[in-house]
A and B are shown apart, each in its own frame.
Chain A
C-alpha cells in the first residue's frame, strides 16, 4: 500500500508498504530517516519515540497505515539546520550520551516534557522519562542534561524557576 504523511513538516510518501509494517520501519527503511532507533520493537525502550500529531509515541507500535494524512516529528527534525535544539545541546554538554542508542528517543521525550513543564521537578523528570531505557549511563547525566536544558530554556525565555524544585 501507499502511505502519505508529513515528516518534520515535509510531505512524504512511502510506496509498497507491507500492511504489517510499523511507522518505525517506514521511517528507517523507506524514507531515509534512521535516527529513530529499533532497540526492542515492543514499546518497552522508547528509543523509537517520535511525535505523532504532537504527542510522543513509540513508532514501533504505530502501524504504517495509521499515519496516513498525519504529522510525524522525529529526532532529525529537532535541530534547526546546524543549530541544535537546547535539549540536544544539553545532552552533548552534560555527558548524557554514551553509545547514543537511547538518545534520539530521550531527546524527543524530553523535548515534549520541557514544552509542557518549564521547571519540572526531579520526580517529574523521572516519571516522564520512565519509558526510555538507557543501558549505558545510569541516567545520572541524563538527569543533568534535562535540568540543564530546562535552565537554558528558562534563561532564553527570561524566566527563573518559580520556587525551587523538589
Chain B
C-alpha cells in the first residue's frame, strides 16, 4: 500500500463486468479511486524531483522595467529561475491564436500573468525564491470591456500590429448572423409585441477539484516525458514543441489522473513551465498549483453583456430576434473565436424564428483570459434568450411553457445559420415532460420542534423560521452543439487489439482520450464488449503514442472517441472474420451475418461457427482507426450562414425555489430535468452528467462569480468563490429521452453540456416568480433581491 506513486502507477486498468452498451457497469478506475490508489497528476513522485513555482503579476496592466532574479538564485536549494529570456524556442502559445507569452515579455496584461518560474528542492524553498524576485512595474489603468471598444481613447491590450487572425482594434473575433429579413423596419412592424432586455453574466470558474499539476521528466534522448492532467494531450504537445524547440517525438505526454476539467484544462497552464524547468535543470520537476494559483492559472467562462429584442405576434409566434452580445475575452485569445461562433449561431435558442439579426463579439481586455467552460458560449446566451421568453410571455399574458412549446424547433426546422436540423429535436416534448413531473411538497415542514433549518433558505445559518419565504417555479430550455464546429477537422483515433491471454480473448483499448471523470473509459469497454463479444477488456493509459483523440470538451468524446473505438473494434472484427474466411472458407454471405458473442463467432441463427480463441491463436489483431464526424462549414463572415455544427443537444429544466424575499436568500428546492441523449450508452453516467451539469448551472444562478475590479481578481479562493455544497443542491429528478440521431454512432447525442445551460435561467425564472423582480444579471445576489 504505502510507497511513492510514480509514473509507473499509470498502468492499464481492466474493466470489470460483462455489460455492453446501454448498461451501467462500474467504472474501471472506480476501485482504485475509492481505495485512494488512483494516481492523479498531483500524486506523482520521482526520485530526485524538484518543485516548480510561478511568479505572477500582481497588476492587471503594467510595463515591466526590470526583473532581478539574482537574490532568488542565491537561495540554497534553488536550481533554476527562468524568465522569457531563457526560453529556447517560440515564446508564445495559444489554442487558436498564439498570442499568449509563455512568460511575460516586458509587459503584463492580466492579474496573475506568469513572469518567472522557479525550481527548488522543496515547495517552501521555491516560494521563498519567488518572493525574492524583484520586478519593477510601471502600472497603467486596466482596460475593461467597455474601454476596450474605444481603443483610441483607452489604448490597446496588445500592440495593434500584433493582432492576429480576425483580431483588430481590441476585438478578438466577431460574428454576425443574418436570417430572413433580420430586424428590418418591415419585420419590426409585423410584431405586435416587442420586448427588450439587457442581461449580464458574471465570470464563472470551472473550479475542478484537482488543481493543475504535472510531472516533467527529462529523458536520455534529450526529450521530455510529461505526466499531466489535461483535456487534450495532442494539442498540449502541439503548443509546447515550438516553445521547447523539440520535435513531437521528443515530447511525450501521458495522461495522469485528472480531477475534473469542465473546459479549464483545454488551454495549457503549467505544462510548458514544468518542461522548461526540467529541460534546464536536467531533473524531474513537479508543479502543483494551490487553489489560489489555480484561479489564476486557467481561463474562465466569458462574462457577457447581452441586449435582446424579441418581437412576436399577439398569439405568441416569434417574428424576429435582435441580439447584440459582447463577451469579455480577457488578455489573450484562448478559444474566444469559437465561443463567439457558438454565441452567434446558438443565440436565439431552440426556437424557430423567421427573422434574426445577431452580433457577437469578444474583446481583449486586461481581465483574466476567458475561454472554454462547459456550455461554451451557449450558457450565457441561454440565460439571455430564456429570460426574454419569460418576459415575452408576461407581456403576452401567456403561460411561459406554452410560449416556448409554440415556438420550439423540431426536426426539419431551419436555424438562423441556414442549417436544416436533420435529427430529432424534441424541444417541445422535453418541456412537456419536465412540466409533467410531480412537484415537490408544498413547502418546508413545520414539525413539533419547529422547522428543520436545513430545508429553508439560509440553512443552518438560522436566518428564517419561515418568515419572508416565498415559493417560485421557473422553466428553461437550451440548445448546445456537439463536437468541434465551423469546418474544424474534428477527429479521434482509437486502437483496439484483440489477443488471447491465458486462454481467453482479451481486448485492449488504447486512445489518447483524456478521462477527466466523465466515464469515457467505462463506455469504451462497453463498446468493445458489444462489438467484439469479449468479457475481458483492458484500458491502456492515454498517451501520445497513439493518434489524437481531440479534446474532452464540446460534449464530444462519447461521439468521437466512442465512435473511433467502435470503428476500430469493427475493423478488428473484420480482420478476424477475414481470417476465418481464409482459414475455413466461409462464404461472403455467411460472413456478412456473423457476429462475435461471448467469445464465439455466431451466425444469424445464433449457431456457433468458430471459437474466437481458435481464430486468434497466437496472432493478435491490432487495428487503429481515425474517426471523423460529418464535415462542417465555417460560418460566412458577413451573414453567418453555413452548416456549422454537426449535432445539437437539448435539455429542459424546471426549478422550484424558496426565496427569503426579505433577506434575498435562495434555497433551490428541486431541479428537474428532461434531456434527449439519443442513446444512453451508460444510463448511470448520463445521470451523472445531467446532475453535475445542472449543479454548475445552479452555481451560476445564485452564487458563482469571479469578482474582478479594475482587472484585479478579488476572490481567488474557495472561501470566497463559492460553489454549491450538498446542502445547496436539491434533489434532481431526471427524465431521459433516447431519440436516435441517425448520423451518430449508436444514435447517441453528447450529453455533458446541455444541462449546464438551462438550469441557470430556470432557477432565475423561479426566483423572479417568487419575487416579481426583473433580475437581469447572474449570479443573482442578495443585494439584487432586496433592491439594495
Contact = CB atoms under 8 A, between A and B. Distances in A.
**A and B in contact, CB less than 8 Å:** yes
A100 B732 contact: no
B718 A100 contact: no
B516 A99 contact: yes
Nearest to B2: A32
A7 B2 CA distance: 10
A115 interface: no
Interface string B685-729: 101100111111000000000000000000001110001011101
Contact of B691 (A89, A103, A133, A137): A137
A18 B211 CA distance: 23
Given A42-B719, A127-B460, A35 B30 contact: no
B1 A38 contact: no
Contacts of B124: 18, 20-21
B33 interface: yes
B598 interface: no
B209 A141 contact: no
Interface of A: 7, 10, 18, 20-21, 25, 28-29, 31-42, 44-45, 47, 74-76, 78-79, 84, 88-89, 91-93, 95, 97-104, 107, 123, 125-127, 129-143
A98 B35 contact: no
Given A75-B36, A92-B31, 11 more contacts: A31-B2, A33-B1, A40-B717, A47-B209, A84-B35, A89-B34, A98-B260, A98-B517, A99-B210, A138-B694, A140-B687
Contacts of B696: 135
Contacts of B42: 34, 37-38
A75 to B, nearest CB: 4
B280 interface: no
Interface in B1-21: 1-5
Interface of B is mostly: loop
Q: Give the interface size bracket for B toward A.
A: 35 or more
Greatest chain A CB density within 10 A among B30, B43, B727 is at B30
B691 A33 contact: no
Contacts of A29: 45
Contacts of B452: 123
Nearest to A33: B2
A126 B261 CA distance: 25
B183 interface: no
Contacts of B687: 95, 140-141
A32 B516 CA distance: 24
B29 interface: yes
A133 B718 contact: yes
Nearest to A104: B36
A138 B696 CA distance: 8
B454 A99 contact: no
A42 B1 CA distance: 27
Contact of B695 (A10, A32, A74, A138): A138
A84 B30 CA distance: 11
Greatest chain B CB density within 10 A among A34, A130, A136 is at A136
Nearest to A146: B726
A42 B692 CA distance: 23
B209 A39 contact: yes
